[in-house]
A and B are shown apart, each in its own frame.
Chain A
Amino acid sequence: MTEILTVHGMDWTIKQLFVYPNEFIYWSIQIVMYPYMTGLVAGAFVLSSLYHVFGQKDLKDMARFSLVFSLALLPVAMMPLQLHLQQPLRGMNVMFTPHFTSAIAAFGIVFSTYAAIVLTEIWFVYREYFVNQTAILKGQAGFANNFKRILYNILTLGAYDLSEQAIAKDKRAIKIMAAIGIPVAGFLHGYAGFIFGSVKANALWMSPLMPVIFIMSAVVSGIALCMLTYIIIMEWKKFQAILAKGRGDESVIMLRGAEIEVMTTTSRYLLMFLVAAITLELLDLIFRGYTAMKSWDILRSVMFHEDFFKIFIMQYGMGNALPFILLIIPGLTIRRTVIALVLVLFGVFMMRWNVVIGGQAFSLSFEGFMHYHLPIIPHNLETFKEGLMGALLVAITPFILFWGINKILPSLDQKNI
């Protein structure tokens, strides 16, 4: 039996007018997910660092949670890349023979550096907890307790010193790691922008502003996701408190007050980065229109005709303008915040989509268009990996990981820490 051969990309690309024969949408949904996920990682880390480095006391409750969440997101930044490679088993080659003129080659190094920083910072944040847990679990019997004790014991790495000086040293180390982490997180993501911005063959991508735009929108999405997750968790806790003690109980009211306060302050940072992101994106757009280089004709028809709805309605309108208004109106409520946050996350996703898919929406010949049809129901491995199912798999993984990690590194229950 002969094997049925297909061209990668043919399943989801529709060509219109003149497109070179070899052109297809080669970078599909997973490459939309990749900058989206790294953006969330970087954003979550930056949020936690704002507290550790700049001493933004108002972010204290968010800091620990967003740090652990950025750890859960970390492996997920790699996932879309693995899923999109035609030779996934050779992915490691990037580490073996990095070809440093390529923007992707440094990914392994930047990413590992960043992972090391996150892990180190978490270790310093939780060292005291590890030591305490080892002591608490010592007398307790049972397999689970034993296992946990051994695990925590290993995690202490033998550093049991809980003297005041030792703790002060930990604090200083946390601050240093967080301070180094900010530029590295920025670099990790700005560099994802560089991967696109440096492709001179692509008229839409090539722009020196691309890395900066990517960083700003990364921070926006990272903060938004942390806030949203925080709200969901607090609501759950509140719900449990209501079940246990009744609606009018003092602890319920306290939880509610704390929650809205954290949200009000964090949303201010979100707004700041949102404004920066939109400004840069509009600057890029205006500059392209004003200079009107050779590619402007095709870019204009993509932006204002083919993809108008996706860019101006879904991204700028629903994803930027609407949440901006929702967050800036005084008297912020949790419900309004949730709506705004979901819209912000959607807006950043659409921005990634419009960059990655939009950049392939026109032919290199400037004489034709390509349309991407997201495979919903997969009929082979390729349409699974690079379709809706693959994207959803990437999207839910960080939450599953967080659930697991949070069992070892509790980041939500303030009393334990």
Chain B
Amino acid sequence: MSCSRRKFLKTTLSGTVAASLPLSAFRFLSPAEAKAATGTPNTRWGFLVDTRKCVGCGFCVKACKKENEVPYDLPVSRTWVERYVITKNGKAHIDSPMAGRDGFTSKKIRDEEIDAKDVTKAFFVPKLCNQCENPACVQVCPVGATYQTSDGVVLVDRSWCIGCGYCIMACPYGVRFFHPKYKVAEKCNFCYHRISKGMKTACVQACPFGARQIGNLKNFDDPVTRIIMTERVAVLKEEYGTKPQVFYIGLDSNVR
């Protein structure tokens, strides 16, 4: 059989293309992804933070770290509490030592004692992943290891994340970090393992003052949804177009 080089190359090329086509038609889904894709579409998880009720006790941070196995004594955390002290000169003094885990027992902010007479207002702001409707982190993940479920929560596939850190860079809220043990991107997922079983998130359950609440935004009878719909709420950093789904009552213009 004679076979010219040209013909050989041609056949090889078309053979390779033909062989790779059927393979590319399939997409392998992990069980979690498959479940997420077929999940109930009448749920959209949303979160409500009433900053007026928060006293900065840090129980939420403690509970979250324990529930989600985030190393307790490292500064990173899926959720954290910020303290804002505004003085008469208009300056905002902000801190969140150890993510607010142990509460705010000292009056000092970064070794600076603030005279109580100078303080005009002071408050606490709990932060967590905003589970954005238009998540920048999902957009930039090069391998699709972070994805949005049909009920709106953004998850990370620990078995597929390559640890490039692009999602950490892309998040305007700074909620992401590398998990010290698993060496992959880590973030709050509204305790997905709990809420999908009808439980509350660890932080909501731990909050003694009801400052944190979670609800289904598609269910208008949900008390949390009712508050979001009927009261004046705000979201963080709206200007980034990420459409955050964590709503705040009593947000101040000093909040970063």
Task: Enumerate chain A interface residues (CB-CB to B < 8 A).
Answer: 3, 5-10, 17-18, 20-24, 26-27, 81, 84-87, 90-91, 93-94, 96-99, 101-105, 107, 158, 195, 198-202, 294, 363-367
Q: Which residue of A lies closest to B147 (CB)?
A: A99
CB distance from A359 to the nearest CB of B (A): 8
Q: Which residues of chain B are within 8 angstroms of A366 by Cβ–Cβ distance?
A: 256
Q: Which residue of B lies closest to A359 (CB)?
A: B169
Q: A26-B165, A365-B256 are in contact. Are A105 and B80 (CB under 8 A)?
A: no
Q: B178 near A107 (CB under 8 angstroms)?
A: no
Q: A22 near B184 (CB under 8 angstroms)?
A: no
CB distance from B64 to the nearest CB of A (A): 12
A232 to B139, CA, bound (A): 46
Q: A364 near B172 (CB under 8 angstroms)?
A: yes
The 7 A-B residue pairs with the shortest CB-CB distance in the complex, in nearest-first order: A86-B163, A20-B174, A99-B144, A104-B142, A365-B256, A201-B172, A5-B180
Task: Write out, one digit per residue, whether chain B residues 173-195 have a CB within 8 A of any chain A CB (1) or not (0).
Answer: 11111101101100000000000
Q: Which residues of chain A are within 8 angstroms of B141 by Cβ–Cβ distance?
A: 99, 102
Q: Which residue of B lies closest to A89 (CB)?
A: B162
CB distance from B242 to the nearest CB of A (A): 9
CB distance from A61 to the nearest CB of B (A): 34
Task: Write out, one digit per residue, whether chain B residues 189-218 have a CB within 8 A of any chain A CB (1) or not (0).
Answer: 000000000000000000000000000000
Say which residue of A22, A84, A198 sits within 8 Å of B77 (CB atoms).
Answer: A22
Q: Which residues of chain A are within 8 angstroms of B99 by Cβ–Cβ distance?
A: 21
Q: B142 near A99 (CB under 8 angstroms)?
A: yes
Q: Which residue of A lies closest to B168 (CB)?
A: A26
Task: Enumerate chain B interface residues (CB-CB to A < 8 A).
Answer: 5, 27, 71, 74-77, 80, 92, 94-96, 98-99, 110, 127, 136, 138-145, 160-166, 168-178, 180-181, 183-184, 239-241, 256
Q: Which residues of chain A are within 8 angstroms of B139 by Cβ–Cβ distance?
A: 101-102
Say which residue of A18, A199, A200, A294 sits within 8 Å of B94 (CB atoms).
Answer: A18
Point out which of A6, A8, A84, A98 has the most chain B C-beta atoms below 10 A from its C-beta.
Answer: A8
Q: B142 near A98 (CB under 8 angstroms)?
A: yes
Q: Is the interface of B mostly helix, strand, loop or mixed?
A: loop
Q: Which residue of B lies closest to A294 (CB)?
A: B239
Q: Which residue of A lies closest to B172 (CB)?
A: A201
Q: Which residues of chain A are within 8 angstroms of B80 by Cβ–Cβ distance?
A: 20-22
CB distance from A406 to the nearest CB of B (A): 29
Q: A199 near B170 (CB under 8 angstroms)?
A: yes
Q: Beyond A22-B177, A90-B162, A99-B144: 19 further Cβ-contacts under 8 Å?
A: A6-B74, A7-B76, A9-B178, A10-B74, A26-B169, A84-B164, A86-B164, A87-B163, A93-B162, A94-B162, A97-B144, A98-B143, A103-B166, A200-B170, A200-B172, A201-B170, A364-B173, A365-B256, A367-B256
Q: Which residues of chain B are within 8 angstroms of A18 by Cβ–Cβ distance?
A: 94-96, 256
Q: A365 near B174 (CB under 8 angstroms)?
A: yes
Q: A5-B74, A7-B180, A367-B92 are in contact. Are A22 and B174 (CB under 8 A)?
A: yes
Say which residue of A87, A102, A367 sits within 8 Å of B166 (CB atoms).
Answer: A102
A22 to B239, CA, bound (A): 21
Q: A5-B180, A20-B96, A201-B171 are in contact. Are A86 and B136 (CB under 8 A)?
A: no
Q: B256 near A102 (CB under 8 angstroms)?
A: no
Q: B178 near A86 (CB under 8 angstroms)?
A: yes
Q: A107-B142, A200-B136 are in contact. Are A158 and B5 (CB under 8 A)?
A: yes
CB distance from A57 to the nearest CB of B (A): 34
Q: B165 near A105 (CB under 8 angstroms)?
A: no
Q: Which residue of B lies closest to A16 (CB)?
A: B110
Q: Which residues of chain B are within 8 angstroms of A363 by Cβ–Cβ distance?
A: 174
Q: Which residue of B lies closest to A201 (CB)?
A: B172
A90 to B168, CA, bound (A): 18
Q: B181 near A5 (CB under 8 angstroms)?
A: yes
